Structure 1
């Protein structure tokens, strides 16, 4: 009799535990899942300049240029930042310094560029490393342009604006800078030497007029 009683109690206990587990599982399934936290604030929040483009510049361009579809509104594609180092043929240390500076300025890995053909007058051989380059897209592109227009360019001595005619006829803009030290990320006391850099801004604009309107509204300080 005692054995039967123990078996009955064990069976009742097992049933109770099973019921409790089933209820807990059903409750968990019914409750809404908490949203996963974003991996980083950088990914969750768009760059400041990109937000300005979406909310202010794109609508203004659509209206000003009389487009029929928002798909026609010009946008930025990429920014290519490069440094030519003529002294690299004699001093490799200079080229390595240029690569380091460019990576500090852009926040991206720089690749060394080579001469496509020999230039006898400058004693340059085909395939010789003569500079470095970084191609920026996405958030890095937007953040770089924001720093360029609002932080670096105003630090140029006697700055009066950038050339308003440096377009290539296909909606792309080129800008040359004489000194990398206008970027505050560069420590003057740690550089190998003062070097210039070139910036090419590629857009989807079909004409230079459209590209100029795009860059102007984003804040490019064109010379008047």
Structure 2
């Protein structure tokens, strides 16, 4: 009996090197217009069925009439299966294309959706209107918990970090998305 089929199975990737989706953040910024911000929060709640968190301005921007501490945006964090399902819908909204410049040095990426109506299975609600949103995706490997835990917290080794090329190949293989160079 030959051991070749067993060896090819063992040659598969190390499970600790497997990349996975940590979280997906949906973010809508509406400036300091409270009514518009409430509508954006209602939209995010309708899209995700999750509680919406509001974010404050970190600094004053006089030209936009924003003071430090003003509530200017809302966001929702999705994890697990909900995040994967929504990410598939979000990729359909941008025609399954993501720019290579959208990936950062740690392998995370972000892209924008011009109108929430581009998402599949969404309908126009005249009370809410239309909103664009940012989709921010964070990737991780098993073992990243050492960076976040309370006891014996430590840094992640350089070999364990996700580089942009690995992140791009993960997105292409897992979601069938084309990574394009900036035009």
| TMscore range, shorter length | 0.7 to 0.9
Structure 1 unaligned residues grouped into runs of 5+: 1-61
Give me the whole-angstrom Cα distance separating, in 1, the residues matched to 2:88 and 2:113. 16
Say if 2:96 and 2:176, in contact at 8 Å, map to a contact too.
no
Closer, same or farther: CA 135–120 of 1 in aligned 2, 3 Å: same
Partner residue in 1 for 2:68: 126
Spell out the pairing of 1:52-201 with structure 2 (5 A cutoff): 67=13, 69-86=14-31, 89=32, 91-149=33-91, 152-153=92-93, 159=95, 161-201=97-137
TM-score (norm 1): 0.61
Say if 2:90 and 2:113, in contact at 8 Å, map to a contact too.
no
Q: Within the alignment, does 1:213 sit opposite 2:158 as a pair? A: no
Give me the whole-angstrom Cα distance separating, in 2, the residues matched to 1:124 and 1:112. 15
Say if 1:101 and 1:186, in contact at 8 Å, map to a contact too.
no
The structure that is helix-richer by fraction is 1
TM-score (norm 2): 0.73
Say if 2:172 and 2:179, in contact at 8 Å, map to a contact too.
no
| Runs of 4+ with deviation above 4 angstroms | none
Flag the structure with more relative contact order, 1 or 2, with Cα contacts below 8 A and sequence separation at least 6.
2
Closer, same or farther: CA 206–162 of 1 in aligned 2, 3 Å: closer
The structure that is strand-richer by fraction is 2
Partner residue in 2 for 1:222: 178
Q: Shift of the alpha carbon at 1:199?
A: 0.7
Q: Shift of the alpha carbon at 1:163?
A: 1.5
Structure 2 unaligned residues grouped into runs of 5+: 1-10, 141-160
Q: Shift of the alpha carbon at 1:139?
A: 2.1
CA RMSD, Structure 1 to Structure 2 (Å): 2.1
Q: Shift of the alpha carbon at 1:114?
A: 0.9
Q: Shift of the alpha carbon at 1:220?
A: 4.6
Partner residue in 2 for 1:6: none
Say if 2:45 and 2:52, in contact at 8 Å, map to a contact too.
yes
What are the Cα deviations for residues 152-204 of structure 1, in whole angstroms up to 9, with x where unaligned? 42xx6xx4723233101111011111111112443214353322100111012
What are the Cα deviations for residues 66-90 of structure 1, in whole angstroms up to 9, with x where unaligned? x5x211111111111100112xx2x
